[in-house]
Amino acid sequence: MTTTVRVASLADASAIAAIFARVNPHECDHAAHEGRVREDIARPIARVTAAEDNAGDLVGALVAWHVVDEVTVVDVAVSPTRRREGHGRALVEELLVWSRAHEKRLVLLEVRASNTPARTLYAALGFTEVNVRRGYYADGEDAVEMHATLALLQASAH
């Protein structure tokens, strides 16, 4: 299964919002997700990417904000029925490539402590767990803060 990652457009907002709403139904409804996605697509400091499968179906998305030399992953989600196919990896790898090309120093994210598959993926891509934020999510679950220092990743790639 190949994944194509591309910059999202406003035409993708509803499909991306549907994925985020399925993955995080407790956070807000589809309309609220769509409004946030539309705002991020229009936001100069945001990078919103969409993952498509071989058939051209949108199966995942990533929202990141970039300020000066840092990038923060705001949200990343893959349709629950399409997980474990490499779409999430493709989204994060594309962000790392873009971040290096734009001379970013650090990529930051938070992930649910219980999300072992995501934590394992991020670690495999060079992220390090640096802190736990107790009770971070609305349901009281902890978040694990992770970061990837791009200069270190570049040096180890050589």
Percent of the chain with pLDDT over 70: 91
Using one digit for the tens of pLDDT, what is the confidence trace for 107-133? 999 999 999 999 999 999 999 999 999
pLDDT higher for 44 or 81? 44
- The residue from 39, 110, 136, 137 that is catalytic is 110
Instruction: Identify the weakest region by mean pLDDT among 9-18, 58-67, 117-126, 144-153.
Output: 144-153
The listed range with the strongest mean pLDDT (22-26, 51-55, 107-111) is 107-111
Helix (H, G, I), strand (E, B) or coil at 50: strand
pLDDT interval class at 80 (50, 70, 90)? confident
Chain mean pLDDT for the chain: 90
Domain count, the chain: 1
Q: Which domain holds residue 60?
A: 4-157
pTM of the entire structure?
0.89
pLDDT computed for residue 132 by the predictor: 97
Residue 157 confidence (pLDDT) above 60: no
Q: What is the mean pLDDT of residues 134-147?
A: 94
- Told to judge if 39 belongs to the known catalytic residues of this protein, a careful annotator would answer no
- Told to judge if 110 belongs to the known catalytic residues of this protein, a careful annotator would answer yes
Angle at 112 between CA 110 and CA 115, to 5 degrees: 120
**For 75-119, what is the HEC assignment?**
EEEECHHHCCCCHHHHHHHHHHHHHHHCCCCEEEEEEECCCHHHH
Percent of the chain with pLDDT over 90: 72
Q: What is the mean pLDDT of residues 69-87?
A: 91
pLDDT computed for residue 156 by the predictor: 54
- The residue from 39, 93, 122, 141 that is catalytic is 122
CATH code assigned at 62: 3.40.630.30
Angle at 125 between CA 144 and CA 112, to 5 degrees: 20
